[in-house]
């Protein structure tokens, strides 16, 4: 077996390189420069020779367009040059998600957020397969229309508008990370707007809270879920927070009463709330619960999936025609328990652990009851009990 070399000649000067292929000397035709048919590898060898000759000629022509004098070495170098593969979207995801996973390991991020990033990657891969018949795409090939196309794809998967927009918004973060890492010069989807449509959020009225709390429930697991849910209604805690509560989170506040404090798993901001009597009663009820004692938990909270499933049963048992979730309880705290009773929105925002009061405004609805309370207060200031305008007092 002898090696096959490629020889390049330009203006009488030669250069060359090994093809990496070998052939028995008896099967080589010196005149044609091809393998004879009797060689078992003749087809692959001859195809390589034909393709290489065309590619070398292409390199030569391109060099002639750029330079006045072209040498055999220049042609060889151009042919053998293999550019670095261009960064892809899935590589950008890996950089982004791996870095955030390190934060999670150090307690600087939540597993829930990491799972959301991973879900986005899965949905993006599915979109690429449907739209481009590929599992990845070079970052430089992504255009502005990629964002709108991805948004449309998500909507067609029966994902609501706000959630779809949130996925696109997070994809923009991944692209921005790629820019910061030098994987791409700019993000083509950076200017894609991701508006948020304020949905109608359910919250319970006070009579509904009382109805649920006073309902006699024989099933132990449903009764425990009911108590945890009512606790959330009077503290504003989300599931992740109430699930992580320990007895140590309860302390004596500046007013001498018992308070509860816990950093939000989602944002890391502190949620400190004075405990109202109902919440205190629930804590006292479960202080000796076997699960709470063994796991050092404040309340017997199920996993999120079970908790939400049991809440559906609770709504049916209590004949409450609303979708009960810990988010519903959080909105109930913000609206029914606090704002409707004239607690300032700044105070509510602090208790909910919001960094921006605009977030609190999303949670807290201006209800008819709140308007009524405010107008009654105004009426008492301006009008007498008989309906006549109150006369201004003079010195």
Helix axes 161-180, 111-132, angle to 10 degrees: 90
Query: What burial class does residue 304 get, using C-beta atoms within 10 Å of its C-beta: 0-12 exposed, 13-18 middle, 19+ buried?
Result: middle
Cβ neighbours of 8 (radius 10 Å) = 19
Burial readout 240-258 (b: 16 or more C-beta within 10 A, e: otherwise): bbbbbbeeebbeeeeeeee
What pTM does this model have? 0.58
What residues in the chain have per-residue pLDDT under 50?
none
pLDDT tens, position by position, 90-104: 999 999 999 999 998
CA distances (Å), origin 248, targets 215, 229, 257, 296? 30, 21, 15, 9
Q: Please tell me the predicted confidence (pLDDT) of residue 325.
A: 85
Q: Please tell me the predicted confidence (pLDDT) of residue 394.
A: 52
Task: Tell me the C-alpha distance between 14 and 150, whole Å.
Answer: 53
Task: Tell me the C-alpha distance between 128 and 139, whole Å.
Answer: 13
Q: Please tell me the predicted confidence (pLDDT) of residue 384.
A: 81
- The three-state secondary structure class of 6 is strand
Residue 243 near residue 300, CB atoms below 8 Å: no
pLDDT tens, position by position, 35-52: 999 999 999 999 999 999
C-alpha closest to that of 167 among 139, 146, 188, 181: 146
C-alpha closest to that of 146 among 92, 84, 83, 85: 92
- The three-state secondary structure class of 277 is helix
Residue 231 near residue 337, CB atoms below 8 Å: no
Q: How far is CA 35 from the centre of its chain?
A: 58
- The three-state secondary structure class of 128 is helix
Q: Please tell me the predicted confidence (pLDDT) of residue 342.
A: 83
CA distances (Å), origin 311, targets 225, 235, 237, 335? 7, 18, 16, 20
Q: How far is CA 91 from the centre of its chain?
A: 17
Residues in the chain: 395
Residue 334 near residue 348, CB atoms below 8 Å: yes
C-alpha closest to that of 236 among 327, 362, 132: 327
Residue 335 near residue 367, CB atoms below 8 Å: yes
Residue 252, Ramachandran bin (φ over 0: left; ψ between -120 and 50: alpha; else beta): beta
Q: Is the dihedral of CA 271, 277, 281, 282 positive or negative?
A: negative
Q: Please tell me the predicted confidence (pLDDT) of residue 306.
A: 87
Strand locations in 226-340 (E): 250-252, 258-263, 270-274
Query: What burial class does residue 271 get, using C-beta atoms within 10 Å of its C-beta: 0-12 exposed, 13-18 middle, 19+ buried?
Result: buried
Task: Say which residues have a Cβ less than 8 Å from residue 111's Cβ, sequence separation at least 6.
Answer: 104
């Amino acid at each position: 077996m002898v090696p096959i070399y490629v020889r390049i000649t330009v203006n009488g000067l030669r250069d060359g390189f090994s093809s990496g292929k070998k052939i028995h000397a008896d099967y080589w035709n010196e005149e044609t420069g091809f393998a004879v048919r009797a060689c078992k590898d003749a087809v692959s060898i001859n195809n390589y020779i034909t393709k290489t000759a065309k590619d070398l000629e292409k390199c030569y022509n391109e060099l002639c367009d750029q330079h006045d004098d072209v040498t055999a070495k220049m042609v060889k170098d151009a042919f053998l040059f293999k550019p670095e593969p261009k960064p892809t979207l899935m590589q950008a995801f890996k950089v982004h998600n791996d870095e955030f996973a390190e934060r999670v390991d150090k307690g600087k991020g939540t597993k829930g957020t990491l799972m959301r990033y991973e879900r986005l990657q899965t949905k993006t891969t599915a979109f690429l397969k449907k739209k481009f018949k590929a599992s990845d795409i070079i970052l430089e090939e992504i255009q502005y229309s990629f964002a709108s196309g991805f948004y449309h794809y998500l909507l067609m998967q029966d994902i609501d508008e706000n959630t779809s927009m949130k996925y696109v918004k997070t994809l923009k973060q991944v692209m921005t990370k790629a820019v910061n890492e030098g994987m791409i010069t700019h993000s083509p989807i950076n200017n894609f707007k991701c508006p948020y449509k304020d949905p109608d959020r359910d919250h319970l009225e006070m009579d509904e809270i009382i109805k649920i709390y006073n309902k006699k429930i024989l099933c132990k697991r449903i009764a425990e879920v009911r108590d945890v849910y009512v606790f959330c209604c009077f503290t504003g805690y989300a599931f992740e927070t109430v699930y992580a509560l320990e007895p140590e989170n309860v302390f004596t506040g500046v007013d001498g009463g018992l308070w509860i404090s816990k950093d939000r798993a989602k944002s890391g901001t502190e949620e400190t709330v004075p405990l109202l009597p109902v919440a205190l009663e629930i804590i006292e009820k479960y202080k000796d619960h076997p699960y709470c004692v063994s796991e050092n938990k404040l309340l017997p909270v199920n996993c999120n999936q079970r908790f939400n499933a049991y809440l559906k049963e609770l709504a049916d048992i209590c004949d409450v025609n609303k979708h009960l979730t810990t988010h519903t309880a959080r909105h109930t705290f913000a609206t029914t328990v606090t704002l409707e009773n004239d607690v300032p929105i700044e105070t509510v925002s602090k208790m909910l652990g919001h960094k921006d009061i605009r977030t609190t405004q999303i949670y807290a609805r201006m209800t008819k009851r709140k308007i009524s309370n405010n107008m009654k207060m105004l009426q008492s200031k301006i009008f007498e009990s008989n309906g006549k305008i109150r006369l201004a007092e003079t010195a």
